[in-house]
C-alpha cells in the first residue's frame, strides 16, 4: 500500500518511509537532557514523556522491535510557542489528529500493532494519571518522538526533504509497524 498517499490525503506536506533498524540513537542522552530541562512542561507529568516512557534502553528496544517506519511532516506559517501558545497548541492537536487518520488506515491494513509518536505530550486526558495509575487510553496515547530518543530532525534530513524556512514552522510525527502475521 502507498501510505504516503494516505498522508498527502490527510493534509501532510511530505511523508517518507524509513527503516527503524537504521535509526541512530547517538543523540539519546542529549535528547533526554533536553527533556529534563522541561522547556515544554511535560517532563515527569505524562506517561507519554520521560521518565514515564521508560529508560533509554527500554524505548530503544521498543522502537527497534518495528520493521517499517513512516515520518510525516506538516509545514505551516511561522507559529511561536512562546508568543502564540494557544495557536501552537491548536495546530499541534490538529496535527496529531491528522496523524491518527493515517495511523487508523495503517491499522486497517496491517493490524493493531501500529505505534504512533508525536511532537509533544499527549492531550487525550485533561489530567494525566502519571505516575499514580496506568494510562486510561493505552495504545491510543501519543508518546513524544524525542522522548523515545529519536532525533526527528536528523531522521527528516536523511529523507532528503527540506525542513521549515524561517517564515515556517514544521511539525513531525512517526508511525512504526510490522507486517501482519
pLDDT tens column, 93-134 = 899 899 999 999 999 999 999 999 998 667 778 888 999 999
- Asked, as a colleague might, if the bond just before 131 is cis with ω within 30 of 0, I would say yes
What H or E segment, with its residue span, contains residue 69?
A: strand 68-77
* DSSP per-residue letters across 5-29: HHHHHHT-SEEEEE-GGG---TTHH
Question: Would the pLDDT of 181 be above 80?
Answer: no
pLDDT tens column, 112-121 = 999 999 986 6
State the pTM of this model: 0.93
CA distance to 10, 42, 78, per residue, from 164 (Å): 19, 24, 9
> Is the CB of residue 94 less than 8 Å from the CB of residue 157?
no
In angstroms, rounded to a whole number, what is the distance separating the alpha carbons of residues 51 and 68?
26
DSSP code of 40? S
Amino acid at each position: 500500500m502507498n501510505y504516503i498517499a494516505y498522508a498527502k490525503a490527510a493534509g501532510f506536506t511530505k511523508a517518507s518511509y524509513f527503516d527503524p533498524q537504521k535509526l541512530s540513537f547517538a543523540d539519546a542522552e542529549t535528547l533526554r537532557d533536553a527533556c529534563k530541562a522541561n522547556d515544554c512542561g511535560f517532563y515527569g507529568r505524562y506517561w507519554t514523556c520521560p521518565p514515564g516512557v521508560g529508560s533509554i534502553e527500554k524505548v530503544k528496544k521498543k522502537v527497534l522491535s518495528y520493521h517499517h517506519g513512516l515520518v510525516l511532516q506538516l509545514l505551516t506559517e511561522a507559529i511561536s510557542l512562546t508568543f502564540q501558545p494557544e495557536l501552537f497548541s491548536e495546530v499541534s492537536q490538529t496535527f496529531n489528529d491528522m496523524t491518527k487518520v493515517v495511523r487508523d488506515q495503517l491499522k486497517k491494513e496491517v493490524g493493531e500493532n501500529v505505534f504512533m509518536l508525536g511532537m509533544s505530550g499527549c492531550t487525550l486526558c485533561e489530567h494525566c494519571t502519571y505516575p499514580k495509575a496506568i494510562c486510561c487510553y493505552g495504545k491510543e496515547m501519543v508518546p513524544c518522538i524525542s522522548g523515545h530518543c529519536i532525533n526527528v530532525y536528523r531522521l527528516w534530513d536523511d529523507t532528503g526533504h527540506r525542513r521549515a524556512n524561517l517564515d515556517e514552522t514544521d511539525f513531525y510525527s512517526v508511525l512504526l509497524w510490522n507486517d501482519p502475521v
